[in-house]
Amino acid sequence: MEKITQALRVLGDETRLRIVNLISQVPLNVSELTSILGLAQSGVSRHLSHLKQLGLLYERKEGVWSYYKLTDPENLDTELQLLWNYLQEQLSALEDPFRDQVRLKEILRQREDRTSGLNERLLEPGQSWLTWSRALGFFLPNLDVADLGCGDGTITMEIARFARSVVGVEHNQKVLDMAKERAARMNLQHVTFKTDRIEELSLPNMSTDFVLFSQSLHHLPRPELGLQEASRILRPGGRMIIMELAPHQEEWVREKLGHMWMGFETDTLTQMMNDAGLQSIQIEANPPRWGESFRVILASGIKKTTGHKRL
């Protein structure tokens, strides 16, 4: 009876039920679960720890990854076997309000990409796309960079490897504190942070050479104002790079991830960049791939030499 009581406490959580349902289909690692659930890695690890303590999951090491699998029902206590059998029947009949199954398919497709075709030939010891991205930094001049909507600083830290200075801008103080801690651990003296709204930056006019939006425009009520502010802080001839989502139908991102916009049409993004005083605008939308819910748009523009005033 005590074992069942404990199991009910642990499983009486929506996120843990989602995890159990996903892992019952295929072993997954923490990174994959984080992508599917849309939660912080620390939170996912905590849920996994509770499920492991209960005995429902165990870890299996494969290369550098630890994959979580469901414990064979035959190895569970009799009480837990009965509960687990009932739970499986209920989970299999549930709808998928969070679109977990769609993102699970995408994760499995990414696995296939890593182990077949071109990627397989590139997976030599010590070789990775991250390594190549850092190598490309050697070709870039020293720049003053602004990472607008920097989140926890993952991209900010990469930029810091080649930039003269980097300022990360984030309105969410809790997330920004994570970025500050990361920069402190890496002893990056040339990285600073601002708790600003992108539409109202406290940075001076013409203070940066390079501005980056990495999937942050769709969080802004008025993204055109964010682009205009970014142009204001750019020096004449400075470059803006935007990584955004193309239009999609995944409504769950509004509540779970705080998206204000369901992606952008390339024509709309081009017009906003032009209105912000950019020229030589280039936009490329990745073609759709089977099973993917999201497509990425890459956009680039150069600030006109006539300058741009704060609105």
What pLDDT band is residue 112 in, cutting at 50, 70 and 90? Answer: low
pLDDT at 209 (0 to 100): 95
Q: Do the domain assignments include residue 310?
A: no
Residue type, position 19, single letter:
I
* Structural domain for 53, as ranges: 2-120
In contact, 167 and 190? CB cutoff 8 Å: no
Q: Do the domain assignments include residue 85?
A: yes
Q: Do the domain assignments include residue 309?
A: no
pLDDT in tens, 168-186: 999 989 889 988 988 888 8
pLDDT at 114 (0 to 100): 55
Of 102, 120, 138, the residue at which a domain comes to its end is 120
161 with 283, same domain? yes
198 with 259, same domain? yes
What pLDDT band is residue 165 in, cutting at 50, 70 and 90? Answer: very high
SS (H, E, C) the chain: CHHHHHHHHHHCCHHHHHHHHHHCCCCECHHHHHHHHCCCHHHHHHHHHHHHHHCCEEEEEECCEEEEEECCHHHCCHHHHHHHHHHHHHHHHCCCCCCHHHHHHHHHHHHHHHCCHHHHHHCCCCCCHHHHHHHHHHHCCCCEEEEECCCCCHHHHHHCCCCCEEEEECCCHHHHHHHHHHHHHCCCCCEEEECCECCECCCCCCCEEEEEEECCHHHCCCHHHHHHHHHHHEEEEEEEEEEEECCCCCCHHHHHHCCCCCCCCHHHHHHHHHHCCEEEEEEEECCCCCCCCCCEEEEEEEECCCCCCCC
What pLDDT band is residue 195 in, cutting at 50, 70 and 90? Answer: very high
Of 98, 120, 142, the residue at which a domain comes to its end is 120
Of 97, 120, 143, the residue at which a domain comes to its end is 120
77 with 132, same domain? no
Which of 119-123, 132-136, 185-189, 262-266 bottoms out in mean pLDDT, i.e. has the lowest? 119-123
In contact, 242 and 269? CB cutoff 8 Å: yes
What pLDDT band is residue 109 in, cutting at 50, 70 and 90? Answer: confident
pLDDT at 141 (0 to 100): 76
Phi, psi of 223 (to 5 degrees): -60, -25
- Give the list of residues 6+ apart from residue 108 with CB closer than 8 angstroms, or none: 26
200 with 262, same domain? yes
pLDDT at 56 (0 to 100): 83
pLDDT in tens, 224-248: 999 999 999 999 999 999 999 999 8
218 with 290, same domain? yes
pLDDT at 132 (0 to 100): 62
Percent of the chain with pLDDT over 90: 38
Q: Do the domain assignments include residue 59?
A: yes
pLDDT in tens, 61-82: 876 678 999 887 676 676 677 7
Distance CA 21, CA 104 (A): 11
With a cut of 50, say whether residue 310 has pLDDT above it: no
CA 82, 59, 10, 97 dihedral sign is negative
91 with 49, same domain? yes
Average pLDDT over residues 245-253: 86
101 with 233, same domain? no
Q: Tell me whether strands 65-70 and 57-62 are parallel, antiparallel or unpaired.
A: antiparallel
With a cut of 60, say whether residue 123 has pLDDT above it: no
154 with 25, same domain? no
With a cut of 50, say whether residue 293 has pLDDT above it: yes
Average pLDDT over residues 52-66: 81
pLDDT at 202 (0 to 100): 95
60 vs 84, more confident? 60
Q: Do the domain assignments include residue 237?
A: yes
Average pLDDT over residues 109-113: 69
pLDDT at 289 (0 to 100): 57
What pLDDT band is residue 122 in, cutting at 50, 70 and 90? Answer: very low
156 with 138, same domain? yes
**Beta-bridge partners for 296:** 245
Which CATH number goes with the domain that contains 99? 1.10.10.10
Most confident of 18-22, 247-251, 265-269: 265-269
Q: Tell me whether strands 208-214 and 191-194 are parallel, antiparallel or unpaired.
A: unpaired
115 with 161, same domain? no
Tell me how many domains the chain contains.
2
pLDDT at 226 (0 to 100): 96
159 with 287, same domain? yes
Which CATH number goes with the domain that contains 258? 3.40.50.150
Average pLDDT over residues 16-36: 89
48 with 184, same domain? no
With a cut of 50, say whether residue 309 has pLDDT above it: no
